[in-house]
Amino acid sequence: MKGTFTLLFFMFLVIGLQAQNVTVSGTITDAETGEGLIGASVLEKGTTNGSITDIDGNYSVSVSGSETILQISYVGYATQEIVVGNQSEINIALSLDISELEEIVVVGYGSVRKSDLTGAVASVKSEDLVKVPNANPVQALQGKVSGLQVLNTSGDPGATPVVRLRGITTLNNNNPIFVVDGVIIEEGNSLDFLNANDIESMEVLKDASATAIFGSRGSNGVIIVTTKRGKSGDVRVNVTAEQSWESVANKVGVMNGREFATYVNDITPGTYNNLDILPNTDWQDKIYTKHAPIRSYSASISGANEKVNYYFGLGYFYQQGVIPKSDLERVTTKINTTYNITKDLALGANLSIALKDKQNAPGVVNTALRAWPINTPYNEDGSFAEVFGSSNALATIAYSNNNTKSLESVGNLFLEYKFLEGFSAKSSLQFTFGLDKNKSFTPAFYVAPLQQNETSDISQKYEDRSFLLWENTLSYSKVFGKHRVNAVVGWTAQQVRSESLTGSGQNLLRDSEEFWYVDAGDRLPENEAIATGASHSTIESYLFRVNYTLLDKYLFTATYRRDGSSKFGVNNRYGVFPSFALGWNLSDESFFPEVDIIDNIKIRASWGIVGNDKIGYLDQYSTISSGRGAVFGVNEQLYPGATFSSGGNPNLRWEETEQYDIGVNFDMFNGRLTTELDYYNKTTDGILVSLEVLGYAGLGAFQTIRYNAAEVENSGFEFNTSWRDDIGDFTYQIGFLGSFVKNEVLSLGDVGADSVLTAGDIGLGQRVSQTVVGRPIGFFYGYKVAGVFQNEAQLDEFPHLSAQKVGDFIYEDTNDDGKLNADDRTVIGNSIPSFIYGFNTSFGYKGISLSLDFQGQMGSEIYNGKQAIQSTLSNFEDRFLGRWSGEGTTNENPRATQGGVNFSPSDYFVEDGSFLRLRTATLGYDLPRKWLSAIGAQSTRIYVRGTNLFTWTKYSGYSPDLGASNPLDGVLDTGVYPISRVYSAGLNVTF
């Protein structure tokens, strides 16, 4: 837009200044739509003489002679040149410019031409973002960007995926930040206030050169989201509708009733004498809904002219979820507007508002896997029956009522003023306001002694969050002959605040929903509770960046940011985050041989430091809290008390990540083959990690203090290549991307439990993960199984634990000291994949298109914790069917036991998490234009799509693409809400 107006202004100035000989006129149209293009430039090449097209695309220009070359250009379209000859009417149809080189890439605090880019930045466009039927647009990035992992901790509707860019950088929060139209999203990786249909593109900033301008926010990478804006021309209306059905892709193999009873008989002979009369309940079938619907509708209206640019979007999303009472309903609105008050002054507002209503899923997955298959859900009188092994999952669902309603509004208001030549000042006030209302009601019920609720309970929680950021930037952009300079300097101040209020009561008057308020409880003081929470933090920053391009060949970028954070003490408040980057368009050099097949080669190198302050707002403080009361008196009464609560570290300072990146871009065969290669190395030092402290310091059991303790290195190689071509009407495209990553802990500092960080709690006090120097973060740690003791002789021969008997695992005496004890536990697995990849292909023929997206990973392992926990006699997974039952029967699986020594952490429970998944397969048809004119539509597309159709994996759980929200844990499967397979059909109409 800006460019067009400048050009327009310029054109008016020059018209009429030249002596003219020949007049040429004609119409400039869009090659695709056939419509006239307003404001296209028609220029006599090598001069400043020219004209621009009117509202219908018509132009008229006087040129010096028949040998004149006319250059026709329009923003976003490929420029065309034509020799005038003796024509007096020249009509040109311009095509959209698909050349990658002219693409504009959005970076922090501005945008650059892709050819001028020095950093490692990947871009994903809107058509790829709407492919996955999920409330969170981040899901669509899975398998689309090399070095980026999008992993699921849960298939719960609206669940936030775990996003990891270029490995695991830190021991605390590894989430990249999202920046939506310049608004930094403070809430980790939750983008679920956005409808994917409203997004134009997502840019993933990977190296320090690209992220350092975000300073403390950029340490784990930055994902910039640009939402759609109006395009000049007619009002554009877009309507989409999609209906999907989801089902659990696979069940976990557990024993059926007969198998279970037989197994129990092996443990305790004679428990079940008549196997034929035992019921057989498949608890997974009982809890999972098949073909649960997902509905998604959206509509948008957009347009633009010289004065105003607008986009209005409205979306509705509903997902029932495969587990009852886990549904999500969401309404999103999007408003993007810019007003050009004068030619130098623009005012704009971007606003997203999302209303969500989420039923918080009852935790029944493990319940169903553990429940005895010989129990039935109902008694003869229809009431819920007691279920051993876990509890009655259907009763849990019936009595669970937990709902969160939220309102999230994200937006900014900005004023931009252009002055002098090339200067522009912008002031932007960004905000995120969130309000969550949670309500949980449990009626009084009795199913069994361990599954009952004595009195009905209500809990209501209100939480509000506000994020305010005021950014003031001054930009300068200028071309001096061979030099192109673009610089920005800015100051920003940010404040984040949240408060919550929780109240609870008991013994409600009635159980129906109209009574789900604390007021309906018995109001007895001892049955009521109230609690508040509050936090606040601030950051003040100065930022600077300069991009310099010489002769379109030599590119240089430098950035500087200084952040002050309230989370650190006065002496360590400020962090400085610089970066430098160089780029060289090698193929533009005169010495570069003129090879037809090579279009462009660019070499990039960057270095920079980014910081991290993603810790609690008061980690630096040792605090004193009330609420530590004591009971005294003949009539016992609680008297208030106050003392130390959390421990703090006043010496906390910024965690810093230093990153190098070397990359090269190739474009070959007239843009048909594009390839991008990057190598990076990043080292994070002073990692902010919570460590257990000396018990005698008196902080209390399980208390930790935050320290700058560890150092972690990630290095890796990334590639992204794609080939696109057409053969007549047949078009096709193939893309392949991948990344290799190596993660190593370099040091764990000299405070706290420096030798070993133990994590990975799977229950029953079993902790299966460790982090030590020289290894990846959060590897699995336990015994190595060498087989099964076949007889007493073997039991005597090998060192063993005192509790071990014939039929139990032979654990390896790894230190060869002739004794088996805790010292023999060793490295048994690693959940960080060595190779992550994705490939996609699409074919098109006369409006029919088929696209397939695959993604996968190799070398990752999962600790199958749901198999390893046997706290009480519960159902077993089917691998235990192959149990040892006498000498020579098997060397793989142990004898039948209820729990005990064979369930200690060991590599028996470590499974290969490698997988290849057909993430989406879409078959679409663009209706021919002639059919559409009748309804006035410009384009109409119908499609069917499958998501998660096939997964090739050896993993026995629901899904191998599990993520670790705490990197120290590694990837543990403790029984999560399963990921589903989805079938969809949709319609997209543009008027």
In contact, 330 and 135? CB cutoff 8 Å: yes
Nearest CA to 385 among 981, 838, 396, 69?
Answer: 396
| Binding residues among 568-587 for another protein as defined by CB under 8 A | 570, 573
- Please say which residue, 595 or 822, places its beta carbon nearer to another protein: 822
- Please say which residue, 118 or 559, places its beta carbon nearer to another protein: 559
Q: Quick check: helix, strand or coil at residue 393?
A: helix
CA 340 from chain centre, in angstroms, equals 35
Selected binder of another protein within 312, 548, 644, 666 (CB under 8 A): 644
- Please say which residue, 403 or 645, places its beta carbon nearer to another protein: 645
| Binding residues among 703-722 for another protein as defined by CB under 8 A | 703
| Binding residues among 97-156 for another protein as defined by CB under 8 A | none
The DSSP output letter for 36 is: B
**Is there binding between residue 449 and another protein (CB under 8 A)?**
yes
| Binding residues among 886-915 for another protein as defined by CB under 8 A | 898-899
**Is there binding between residue 345 and another protein (CB under 8 A)?**
no
Q: Quick check: helix, strand or coil at residue 931?
A: helix
CA–CA dist 157, 396 (Å, integer):
19
**Is there binding between residue 815 and another protein (CB under 8 A)?**
no
| # chain residues binding another protein, by CB under 8 A | 88
- Please say which residue, 693 or 962, places its beta carbon nearer to another protein: 693
CA–CA dist 142, 737 (Å, integer):
11
Asked whether the CA dihedral 215, 221, 227, 232 is positive or negative, the reply is positive
- Please say which residue, 694 or 727, places its beta carbon nearer to another protein: 694
**What is the helix (H) or strand (E) element at residue 367, kind and residue range?**
helix 365-370
- Please say which residue, 591 or 702, places its beta carbon nearer to another protein: 702
| Binding residues among 198-217 for another protein as defined by CB under 8 A | none
* Dihedral (Cα; 627, 632, 634, 635), 10-degree rounding: 0
As given in the structure block, the two tokens for residue 566 are 């309230």
Task: Tell the residue number behind the tokens 């109240």, with chain if given.
Answer: 503
Task: Tell the residue number behind the tokens 């670790």, with chain if given.
Answer: 964
Least distance in Å: CB of 895 to another protein? 16
Least distance in Å: CB of 889 to another protein? 24
- Please say which residue, 341 or 534, places its beta carbon nearer to another protein: 534
- Please say which residue, 410 or 693, places its beta carbon nearer to another protein: 693
CA–CA dist 542, 560 (Å, integer):
8
DSSP labels for 765-833? TEEEEEE-TTS-TTEEEEBPEEEE--SHHHHHHS---TT--TTSEEE--TT-SS--SGGG-EEEE--S-
Least distance in Å: CB of 374 to another protein? 14
| Binding residues among 817-846 for another protein as defined by CB under 8 A | 822
| Binding residues among 864-883 for another protein as defined by CB under 8 A | 870-873
Selected binder of another protein within 594, 643, 796, 888 (CB under 8 A): 643
Selected binder of another protein within 197, 216, 240, 566 (CB under 8 A): 566
Selected binder of another protein within 178, 384, 617, 955 (CB under 8 A): 617
- Please say which residue, 758 or 939, places its beta carbon nearer to another protein: 758
CA–CA dist 970, 153 (Å, integer):
12
Half-sphere exposure (Cβ direction) of 903: Cα atoms closer than 13 Å:
22
- Please say which residue, 452 or 933, places its beta carbon nearer to another protein: 452
Stretch that binds another protein, among 185-193, 349-357, 435-443, 751-759 (CB under 8 A): 751-759
* 3-class DSSP string for 187-228: CCCCCCCCCHHHEEEEEEECCHHHHHHHHHHCCCCEEEEEEC
Give Cα separations from 597 to 15, 591, 603, 669 (angstroms).
41, 16, 18, 5
- Please say which residue, 538 or 938, places its beta carbon nearer to another protein: 538
Asked whether the CA dihedral 818, 821, 827, 828 is positive or negative, the reply is positive
- Please say which residue, 267 or 944, places its beta carbon nearer to another protein: 267
Least distance in Å: CB of 628 to another protein? 4
| Binding residues among 405-424 for another protein as defined by CB under 8 A | 420-421, 423
Selected binder of another protein within 19, 701, 727, 934 (CB under 8 A): 701
Least distance in Å: CB of 388 to another protein? 7
Selected binder of another protein within 69, 697, 848, 985 (CB under 8 A): 697
- Please say which residue, 891 or 898, places its beta carbon nearer to another protein: 898
- Please say which residue, 448 or 827, places its beta carbon nearer to another protein: 448
DSSP labels for 937-980? -SEEEEEEEEEEEEEEE---SS-S-B--SSGGG--B-S-PPPPE
Least distance in Å: CB of 751 to another protein? 8
**Is there binding between residue 270 and another protein (CB under 8 A)?**
no
- Please say which residue, 425 or 858, places its beta carbon nearer to another protein: 425
Half-sphere exposure (Cβ direction) of 212: Cα atoms closer than 13 Å:
32
- Please say which residue, 198 or 471, places its beta carbon nearer to another protein: 471
**Is there binding between residue 269 and another protein (CB under 8 A)?**
no
| Binding residues among 365-404 for another protein as defined by CB under 8 A | 388
Selected binder of another protein within 23, 626, 815, 885 (CB under 8 A): 626
**Is there binding between residue 698 and another protein (CB under 8 A)?**
yes
| Binding residues among 677-696 for another protein as defined by CB under 8 A | 691-696
CA–CA dist 325, 393 (Å, integer):
12
| Binding residues among 505-544 for another protein as defined by CB under 8 A | 526, 529, 532, 534-540, 542
Residue count (the chain): 991
In contact, 949 and 909? CB cutoff 8 Å: no
**Is there binding between residue 700 and another protein (CB under 8 A)?**
yes
Least distance in Å: CB of 449 to another protein? 5
**Is there binding between residue 272 and another protein (CB under 8 A)?**
no
CA 498 from chain centre, in angstroms, equals 23
- Please say which residue, 584 or 811, places its beta carbon nearer to another protein: 811
**Is there binding between residue 764 and another protein (CB under 8 A)?**
yes
CA–CA dist 988, 221 (Å, integer):
33
**Beta partners for 125?**
201
Tally of CB atoms within 10 A around 512: 11
Stretch that binds another protein, among 76-84, 580-588, 746-754, 935-943 (CB under 8 A): 746-754
Cβ partners under 8 Å of residue 320, min gap 6: 157, 289, 292, 293, 294, 326, 327
Least distance in Å: CB of 443 to another protein? 16
| Binding residues among 462-491 for another protein as defined by CB under 8 A | 472, 474, 476, 489, 491
Least distance in Å: CB of 448 to another protein? 9
**Helix boundaries (H) for 153-307:** 208-211, 257-267, 283-287
Least distance in Å: CB of 902 to another protein? 13
Least distance in Å: CB of 504 to another protein? 11
CA–CA dist 971, 948 (Å, integer):
20
Selected binder of another protein within 19, 55, 597, 631 (CB under 8 A): 631
Least distance in Å: CB of 456 to another protein? 13
- Please say which residue, 591 or 696, places its beta carbon nearer to another protein: 696
In contact, 776 and 830? CB cutoff 8 Å: yes
In contact, 204 and 121? CB cutoff 8 Å: yes
